[in-house]
């Protein structure tokens, strides 16, 4: 019987070609339209209905990849990708992904690849310290902020002391549980709460001020109202860098309330957390020492290819209690006394070697270079906001925050403003030169620009102004 890969000759040749393709792609990325222009089904219809019985050489596949698949790619690595929060890949991160696949280690437990576990411990310490976070935090890498917020809230539920881990939530007399977050919190908080049995009604959305920051007084009132009605407040989620405007909830006040009310404080810093490597921004973190769990996504703003999201907690033992299996199956029992087996701190057993990306990025660029890129991008956003404010018929919908700017076109009434704003978005995105996304704030439809690609220069951002001026 033939082996799957008889030797590495074909692999080596194709690998060289692919690395060349990747370097050419990154060097020439601006020749592509940022937003893919294909229609639904265009990509699918190019492929056979069933998998081929006989294989083809890599050369033919590389050609097909460029011809059939690349047209359906929206180019997240493009320096004028300003939509959502960019996934800021970097060359160091790409190389680490290659090595991760080559090694193909699964860090289920320490012995299944000691380097995987121990490099995760090292890079979690590096990241924690680089972000100026308290030294008592334990960190773990998972795929996304959605999963990490789920884990943080699972720990919050465990910390209630209701023995939900052993007894579950059904068939017993439990009070309704409540999680509080701002009306601008990311939808992943609601999903986490749903999966944990809090129910849609268990998520209490707190009103925000004129700059989209949670109102602490409204939080206090909601907690008091719920307690009076017999519900059990469990956790409060503060967001540092909300999705629509990158606003920052008032952490010190929210932290005080959480402490007084004995609520778990979860901080969603999925996007803006990375910016805390810049020391002069650290005042935004004031009060973070009260956080029981914190999410930061290096794959949003620390030049790490997707996926890489980090959960920090000062209560690893609670997280562990929530997720360590009651009886370790025989095939997983351990004889080594490793300090940490990450499988005990979440749902998944199998674990990708994501720490390799962080290690490569920290080592190759150094923290100072990362800081400077983030500083520059925040500077681009402030400059864009200033320029926009000087333009007739353009209105900022929120103060520029971190690297996010939200604005709209103003016309005689709301409907005309919305139409003109949509037309401007379409014009920009159809040009292929850049990609922006939209949001809605207090009824106003707005254009949302988030800068975060490692290759972005002012000239890329300035295209937004050119499109406005040439309307
Ligand atoms: N939290 C915030 C503030 C976000 O903006 C996002 C996504 O944009 C998320 C969480 C969810 O991130 P992920 O895609 O890693 O689950």
The whole-angstrom separation of Cα 321 and Cα 319 is 5
Structure-block tokens of residue 358: 């962080």
Residue whose tokens read 């991160």? 93
Closest CA to 37 of 78, 71, 14, 2: 71
Residue 364 has pLDDT above 70, yes or no: yes
- Using 50, 70 and 90 to split pLDDT, how confident is the model at 332? confident
Using the mean position of ligand 1's atoms as its centre, give its distance from the Cα of residue 146 in Å: 6
Closest CA to 252 of 227, 218, 222, 289: 289
Residue 162 is predicted with a pLDDT of 95
**Mean pLDDT computed over 435-456:** 97
Residue 338 is predicted with a pLDDT of 65
Count of residues in the chain: 471
Indicate the average pLDDT of the chain.
95
Residue 271 is predicted with a pLDDT of 97
Decide which of 111 and 228 is more confident.
228
Closest ligand 1 atom number to CA of residue 185: 3
The whole-angstrom separation of Cα 156 and Cα 150 is 10
Residue 327 is predicted with a pLDDT of 78
DSSP state of 67: I
pLDDT in tens, 64-121: 999 999 999 999 999 999 999 987 789 999 999 999 999 999 999 999 999 999 999 9
270: Cβ below 6 Å to ligand 1? yes
Fold (topology level) of 106-352 = 3.40.640
3-state secondary structure of 259: helix
Closest ligand 1 atom number to CA of residue 239: 3
- Using 50, 70 and 90 to split pLDDT, how confident is the model at 231? very high
Residue 2 is predicted with a pLDDT of 73
- The answer to whether 267 touches 254, Cβ cutoff 8 Å, is no
274: Cβ below 6 Å to ligand 1? no
Using the mean position of ligand 1's atoms as its centre, give its distance from the Cα of residue 452 in Å: 14
pLDDT in tens, 26-69: 999 999 999 999 999 999 999 999 999 999 999 999 999 999 99
Closest ligand 1 atom number to CA of residue 241: 3
Closest ligand 1 atom number to CA of residue 85: 8
The full set of domain ranges for the chain reads: 106-352
- Using 50, 70 and 90 to split pLDDT, how confident is the model at 335? low
Using the mean position of ligand 1's atoms as its centre, give its distance from the Cα of residue 307 in Å: 12
85: Cβ below 6 Å to ligand 1? yes
Residue 217 has pLDDT above 70, yes or no: yes
146: Cβ below 6 Å to ligand 1? yes
The whole-angstrom separation of Cα 109 and Cα 123 is 17
Residue 136 is predicted with a pLDDT of 95
**Mean pLDDT computed over 434-445:** 97
Residue 250 has pLDDT above 90, yes or no: yes
Mutate to test the pocket of ligand 1, among 296, 297, 301, 401 (most ligand atoms within 8 A of CB): 297
| Burial class for 175, CB neighbours closer than 10 Å (0-12, 13-18, 19+) | middle
188: Cβ below 6 Å to ligand 1? yes
The whole-angstrom separation of Cα 247 and Cα 238 is 11
3-state secondary structure of 227: helix
Residue 35 is predicted with a pLDDT of 97
Using the mean position of ligand 1's atoms as its centre, give its distance from the Cα of residue 289 in Å: 22
Residue 77 is predicted with a pLDDT of 95
Query: Does an H or E element contain 142, and which?
Result: strand 138-142
Residue 336 is predicted with a pLDDT of 66
144: Cβ below 6 Å to ligand 1? yes
Closest CA to 192 of 341, 298, 309, 89: 309
Residue 337 has pLDDT above 70, yes or no: no
Mutate to test the pocket of ligand 1, among 238, 266, 300 (most ligand atoms within 8 A of CB): 300
pLDDT in tens, 375-415: 999 999 999 999 999 999 999 999 999 999 999 999 999 99
For 79-135, give the DSSP string.
TTB-SSS-----HHHHHHHHHHHHH----SSGGG-HHHHHHHHHHHHHHHHHTT--T
């Amino acid at each position: 019987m033939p082996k799957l890969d008889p030797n590495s000759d074909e692999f080596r040749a194709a690998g060289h070609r692919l690395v060349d393709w990747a370097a050419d792609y990154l060097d020439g990325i601006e020749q592509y339209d940022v937003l893919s222009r294909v229609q639904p089904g265009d990509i699918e219809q190019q492929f056979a209905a069933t998998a081929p019985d006989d294989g083809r050489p890599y050369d033919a596949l590389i050609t097909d990849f460029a011809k059939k698949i690349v047209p359906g790619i929206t180019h997240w690595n493009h320096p004028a990708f300003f939509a959502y929060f960019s996934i800021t890949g970097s060359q160091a991160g790409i190389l680490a992904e290659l090595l991760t696949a080559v090694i193909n280690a699964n860090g289920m437990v320490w012995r299944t690849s000691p380097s995987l576990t121990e490099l995760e411990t090292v890079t979690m310490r590096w990241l924690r310290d680089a972000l100026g976070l308290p030294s008592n935090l334990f960190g773990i890498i998972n795929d996304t902020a959605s999963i990490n917020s789920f884990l943080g809230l699972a720990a919050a539920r465990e910390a209630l002391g209701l023995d939900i881990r052993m007894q579950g939530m059904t068939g017993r007399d439990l009070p309704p549980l409540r999680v509080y977050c701002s009306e601008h919190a990311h939808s992943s908080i609601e999903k986490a709460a749903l999966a944990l049995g809090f129910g849609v009604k268990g998520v209490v959305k707190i009103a925000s001020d004129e700059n989209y920051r949670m109102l602490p007084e409204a939080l206090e009132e909601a907690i008091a109202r719920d307690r009076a009605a017999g519900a059990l407040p469990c956790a409060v989620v503060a967001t540092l860098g909300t999705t629509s405007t990158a606003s920052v909830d008032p952490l010190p006040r929210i932290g005080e309330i959480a402490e007084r009310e004995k609520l778990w404080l979860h901080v969603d810093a999925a996007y803006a957390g990375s910016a805390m490597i810049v020391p002069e921004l650290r005042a935004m973190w004031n009060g973070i020492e009260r956080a029981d769990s914190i999410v930061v996504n290096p794959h949003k703003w620390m030049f790490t290819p997707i996926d890489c999201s980090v959960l920090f907690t000062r209560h690893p033992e609670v997280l562990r209690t929530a997720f360590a299996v009651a009886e370790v199956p025989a095939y997983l029992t351990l004889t080594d006394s490793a300090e940490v087996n990450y499988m005990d701190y979440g749902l998944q057993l199998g674990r990708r070697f994501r720490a390799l990306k962080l290690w490569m990025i920290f080592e190759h660029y150094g923290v100072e270079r990362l800081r400077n890129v983030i500083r520059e991008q925040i500077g681009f956003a402030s400059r864009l906001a200033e320029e926009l404010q000087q333009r007739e018929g353009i209105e900022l919908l929120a103060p520029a925050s971190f690297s996010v700017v939200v604005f709209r076109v103003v016309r005689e009434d709301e409907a005309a403003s919305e139409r003109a704003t949509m037309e401007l978005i379409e014009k920009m995105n159809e040009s292929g030169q850049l990609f922006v996304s939209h949001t809605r704030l207090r009824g106003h439809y707005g254009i949302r620009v988030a800068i975060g690609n490692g290759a972005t220069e002012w000239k890329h951002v300035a295209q937004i102004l050119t499109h406005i001026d040439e309307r």
